[in-house]
Amino acid sequence: MVKRRATRVGEWIIERLIQLSGMLGIILVVLIFLFLLQNSLPIFKERTLGELVFGQRWSPTHGDGQFGMLPLLLGSLYVTVGALVIAVPLALAASVFVAEIAPRRMREFLKPAIELLAAIPSVVFGFLGLLVVGPWIDAHVEIIKVGQFAALGSVMLAFMALPTIVSICEDAFHNVPREIFNSSLALGATRWQTITRALMPAARSGIIAAILLGLGRAIGETMTVLMVTGNAQVIPKGLLGFLKPIRTMTATIAAEMGEAAYGSTHFHTLFTIGLFLFIITFAINTIADVIVRRGEKDIA
Amino acid sequence: MSAEGRHLIDPRVTEKFAFGLLWLVMFIIAIPVVGIIGYMLYRGAGALNWELIVAAQGGLYPAIIGTTYLVLLTTAVAAPIGVGAAIYLSEYARPGPLLRLIRLAIINLAGVPSVVYGLFGLAAFVILFGWNRCLAAGACTLALLVLPLVISASEEALRQIPKGLREGSLALGASKWQTIRRVVLPNAMPGIITGLILSIARAAGETAPILFTAAFYSLSDPFPNSVFDPVVAMPYQLFVMSTEMPDVADANKWATAFVLVALVLGLNVIASIVRTKLRRRRW
């Protein structure tokens, strides 16, 4: 009897621990937010939100330090928008190809190949951009004349976001009931008509969610953009801005946190950038999740 | 009016054209990917030699050791918590607003930028706990980063265990926890291990989270004596060599990149082999 009671107590403890680790996801999200907030707040005693967000100059070591984030926000915007403009059409084409067109053997090869592409560390992409692609462009493409610029980051990010978008889109196609596809074919539509007018509209919510998750991945990507976009905190202007060096929010944190003294204005501002990134990605992921759930309900 | 009459171009011609275009897009994607990865493997394999690997100074050995310590400690932290959370989600949680909230939190954790994990690790482990830049702080930060991966892989593995197996065990008088520990977990273990291998691969390649929490580069004293010493890690070494050390021979950089990619891809291949083997099993 004693042994049984001991087992019961042991089980009770274990089950509470399991419950606790189940809650850990929520606890962690809240903790990350609070730590970022706590380390950001002191900056607002010195500067207003408007000064930080719309300030045009980022120069932490200049005098008292200038902490205008506009160049960094626009840098992130340029690189990310550029990445999506490249990645979305390629990813849509690739996911339709993998889901509906590729011969079965080829599909069995393509799916793991795409997963492997997703597994390559971002520092390796940065390394390749820095040592191979950048110098090649510098030497061979007259109009650019630099080896590190915004569009190079966009291209690399596009390839890094591709696997995320493709695999979620492909899942979305897979979840569309086969009857929809077959009835369209039975009505005399070609496969291409069926894909564009029956399959893709039915998978709409999944496609949008995939693009949003790709967007989240691109905004948060750090090492690659740090290494290939040129590290220049200038405000990009017009379309030519894509061919000039810039600096993103993520790259700024990675490049400068090492030298920012603990508790300094610089330190707190870098945490504020982190807080903005957290809020942006949180919003994107939550919206994507809501869209996916709504889509699941529609299909059901 | 026939179906074709309403189209300027025969839909079958459009289809041929569209499918052709898709094939073309696949080549546009595949050529740079295969080309660049192929080039990297070629340069890397060419640069790699035994002396470069074992050299304690400026070679790969300290980085290999450091990364090994980091991923082992990361897994030691992430595995129990992640599997525990997965057990909760698959065996205990009831559908409802709480479960919905937990799932949303896990999705969002998976989407937090890795550099933001780095900031959190800096604020929590390095500064608040006073650990300074060290192995333990880096491993805890990486553990949080891979947690969503461990949870979702483990939960999927647990959910694949048929209900009947649990009911059989319960009918024999086993308690719920005994059933989980003796019946459910052992059967789900291969799937859980697949998830752990994938998270090791992920942790091994991440740079941003260890940038201010664990990593350093040292030629004289690169090996940590305790978990409270900083480490040389492979992705960080690649970063430092390619951005701050123009004097380092290109061969060293290529070799580091090659070993890192080989490690990460190798782990992924192992995980997918384990997974394919699993799929063949029928209950």
Where are the domains positioned within chain A?
2-40, 49-299
pLDDT number for residue B1: 43
A223 touches chain B (CB under 8 A): yes
Q: How far is B101 from chain A (nearest CA, A)?
A: 7
Cβ contact, residue pair B101, A97, below 8 Å: no
Number of Cβ within 10 Å of residue B12's Cβ equals 14
The beta-carbon neighbor of A93 closest among B25, B108, B116 is: B25
CB B137 within 8 A of CB B71: no
Best of B239, B244, B260 to disrupt the A interface (most A CBs within 10 Å) is: B239
Cβ contact, residue pair A123, B205, below 8 Å: yes
The dihedral through the CA atoms of B154, B147, B134, B65 has a sign that is: positive
Check whether A4 has a pLDDT greater than 90: no
What is the arithmetic mean of pLDDT over A101-124? 91
pLDDT number for residue A142: 81
Q: Which amino acid is at B218?
A: S
Closest by CA position to B142, among listed B82, B99, B94, B61:
B82
B46, two tokens: 């060419």
DSSP assigned state of A233: -
Cβ contact, residue pair B111, A192, below 8 Å: no
Q: How far apart are CA A68 and CA A280, in angstroms?
A: 19
pLDDT number for residue B222: 83
A86, two tokens: 């490249």
A101 touches chain B (CB under 8 A): yes
Phi, psi at residue A59, to the nearest 5°? -155, 80
Q: How far is B187 from chain A (nearest CA, A)?
A: 19
- Which chain B residue has its CA at the smallest distance from A23's CA? B102
Q: Directed axis angle between helix B11-47 and helix A150-175, to 10°?
A: 120
ipTM of the complex in this document: 0.93
pLDDT number for residue B37: 84
Q: Directed axis angle between helix B135-159 and helix B61-87, to 10°?
A: 40
CB B203 within 8 A of CB B263: no
Cβ contact, residue pair B201, A119, below 8 Å: yes
A256, two tokens: 């400068």
Phi, psi at residue A246, to the nearest 5°? -140, -175
Q: How far apart are CA B255 and CA B237, in angstroms?
A: 11
Residues in B touching A14 (Cβ below 8 Å): 177
pTM of the model: 0.93
What is the arithmetic mean of pLDDT over A83-102? 95
Sequence-separated (6 or more) residues with CB below 8 Å from residue A41: A268
pLDDT digits (tens, 9 = 90+) for B169-188: 999 999 999 999 999 999 99
A159, two tokens: 């390839």
What is the arithmetic mean of pLDDT over A201-225? 95
Check whether A5 has a pLDDT greater than 80: no
DSSP assigned state of A258: T
pLDDT band at A152 (very low <50, low <70, confident <90, very high): very high
Q: Directed axis angle between helix B185-205 and helix B250-279, to 10°?
A: 160
Cβ contact, residue pair A24, B81, below 8 Å: yes
A221 touches chain B (CB under 8 A): yes
Q: How far apart are CA B117 and CA B111, in angstroms?
A: 11
A80, two tokens: 């990310």
Q: Which residues of A, range 44-83, sit inside 8 Å of B by Cβ?
A: none
Q: How far is A199 from chain B (nearest CA, A)?
A: 15
Helix (H, G, I), strand (E, B) or coil at A66: strand
Check whether A198 has a pLDDT greater than 70: yes
Cβ contact, residue pair A257, B37, below 8 Å: no
The beta-carbon neighbor of A28 closest among B25, B111, B144 is: B144
Check whether A140 has a pLDDT greater than 60: yes
pLDDT number for residue B41: 86
The beta-carbon neighbor of A220 closest among B32, B92, B113 is: B113
The mean pLDDT value of chain A amounts to: 92
Residues in A touching B178 (Cβ below 8 Å): 11
Three-state DSSP string of chain B: CCHHHHCCCCHHHHHHHHHHHHHHHHHHHHHHHHHHHHHHHHHHHHHCCHHHHHCCCCCCHHHHHHHHHHHHHHHHHHHHHHHHHHHHHHHHCCCCHHHHHHHHHHHHHHHCCHHHHHHHHHHHHHHHCCCCCCHHHHHHHHHHHHHHHHHHHHHHHHHCCCHHHHHHHHHCCCCHHHHHHHHHHHHHHHHHHHHHHHHHHHHHHCCHHHHCCCECCCCCCCCCCCCCCCECCHHHHHHHHHHHCCCCCHHHHHHHHHHHHHHHHHHHHHHHHHHHHHHCCCC
A269, two tokens: 């501002």
pLDDT number for residue B218: 82
pLDDT number for residue B140: 97
Torsion of the alpha carbons at B78, B84, B88 and B89, rounded to the nearest 10: 30
Q: Directed axis angle between helix B61-87 and helix A2-40, to 10°?
A: 120
Residues in A touching B204 (Cβ below 8 Å): 121
β-pair partners for A230 = A246
pLDDT in tens, chain B (283 residues): 444 456 778 888 999 999 999 999 999 999 988 888 889 889 888 888 887 887 766 788 899 999 999 999 999 999 999 999 999 999 999 999 999 999 999 999 999 999 999 999 999 999 999 999 999 999 999 999 999 999 999 999 999 999 999 999 999 999 999 999 999 999 999 899 999 999 999 999 999 999 999 988 887 788 888 899 999 999 999 999 999 888 888 888 999 999 999 999 999 999 988 887 776 665 5
B61-279: CATH number = 1.10.3720.10
Of A195-204, A289-298, B99-108, the range with the lowest mean pLDDT is: A289-298
Helix (H, G, I), strand (E, B) or coil at A260: coil
Question: What are the CA-CA distances from residue B244 to residues B240, B247, B248 (Å)?
Answer: 5, 9, 9
Percent of chain A with pLDDT strictly greater than 90:
77
Cβ contact, residue pair B81, A29, below 8 Å: no
Phi, psi at residue B109, to the nearest 5°? -60, -40
Best of A30, A165, A166, A190 to disrupt the B interface (most B CBs within 10 Å) is: A190
Q: How far is A68 from chain B (nearest CA, A)?
A: 20
Sequence-separated (6 or more) residues with CB below 8 Å from residue B156: B191, B195
Q: Is B133 exposed, middle or buried (0-12, 13-18, 19+ CB in 10 A)?
A: buried
- Which chain B residue has its CA at the smallest distance from A9's CA? B177
Phi, psi at residue A279, to the nearest 5°? -65, -45
B44, two tokens: 């890397």
Helices marked H in chain A = 2-40, 43-46, 49-54, 70-96, 104-119, 122-128, 134-140, 150-175, 178-186, 191-194, 200-202, 204-220, 223-228, 249-256, 265-299
A252 touches chain B (CB under 8 A): no
A33 touches chain B (CB under 8 A): no
User: Which of 1.10.760.10, 1.10.3720.10, 1.10.10.10, 3.90.1150.10 would CATH assign to domain A49-299?
Assistant: 1.10.3720.10
Q: How far is B122 from chain A (nearest CA, A)?
A: 10
pLDDT digits (tens, 9 = 90+) for A168-193: 999 999 989 999 999 999 999 999 99
A97, two tokens: 């190809």
Name the one residue in this structure whose structure tokens are 């702080």: B137
pLDDT number for residue B274: 86
